Structure formats: C-alpha cells, structure tokens
C-alpha cells in the first residue's frame, strides 16, 4: 500500500474528472457530490481516456461510445464496454488527493 499524490483537491471541478499518471498508470480522478474517486483512465472497450468524459449519476461516461462506468465499482452500466475498469483507493490529505495504484 502506498498512497501517492495525484493532484490538488482544488484542481478538481465540483463535478468532473482530471486525468493524471501515477507510477506509469493512467488514473482518472473524479469528484462528484463532494466525494473523490479514482479509476483506471482507459476505457475497457477501446483506448479512450475516461477522464475526458462527463460525470453524472455516480458514473463517468466514455465519450466515444457512451459506456458509463460506476465510480464506486468500475463496472460498466451499459454496452459496448463489458469489462469493469480498475478502481483505486483514495485519501484526502489537506488539499492533496492521494491515490494508491499498487
């Protein structure tokens, strides 16, 4: 377990995502409803960064084909994606968002 700084909390929009890279792993850091989540930043269907998608209903939408991924579980709520994306634990330390990708 090793939490590493992903970004500043203030960099995150109230509802939306930021794409970062931690130890070579692309991570989408998502804030919605005052909570912060972290998911693997590549759609499980094609090579698309999820952090470029819209956030709503506790999901992030892949902009290319419209599959939405649940922020808590990483599971897609609809096709064409069928496999979940990996989710990562998040800690908030002051203004820092820490994510554990190990």
Is residue 69 within 8 Å of 60, Cβ to Cβ?
Answer: yes
47 touches another protein by CB under 8 A: yes
How many whole angstroms separate alpha carbon 47 and alpha carbon 95?
31
Q: Which stretch binds another protein (CB under 8 A): 10-18, 30-38, 41-49, 73-81?
A: 41-49
How many whole angstroms separate alpha carbon 7 and alpha carbon 98?
8
Judged by CB under 8 A, the residue of 16, 19, 26, 80 near another protein is 26
46 touches another protein by CB under 8 A: yes
19 touches another protein by CB under 8 A: no
Provide the pairing of β-strand 59-61 with 68-70.
antiparallel
Q: Which stretch binds another protein (CB under 8 A): 11-19, 40-48, 66-74, 84-92?
A: 40-48
């Amino acid at each position: 377990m090793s939490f590493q700084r992903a970004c500043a909390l203030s960099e995150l929009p109230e509802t939306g995502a930021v794409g970062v890279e931690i130890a070579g792993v692309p991570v989408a850091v998502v804030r919605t409803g005052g909570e912060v989540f972290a998911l693997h930043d590549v759609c499980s269907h094609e090579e698309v960064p999820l952090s470029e998608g819209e956030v709503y209903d506790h999901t992030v939408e892949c902009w290319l084909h419209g599959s939405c991924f649940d922020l808590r579980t990483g599971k897609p709520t609809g096709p064409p994606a069928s496999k979940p994306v990996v989710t990562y634990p998040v800690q908030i330390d002051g203004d820092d968002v820490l994510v554990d990708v190990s």
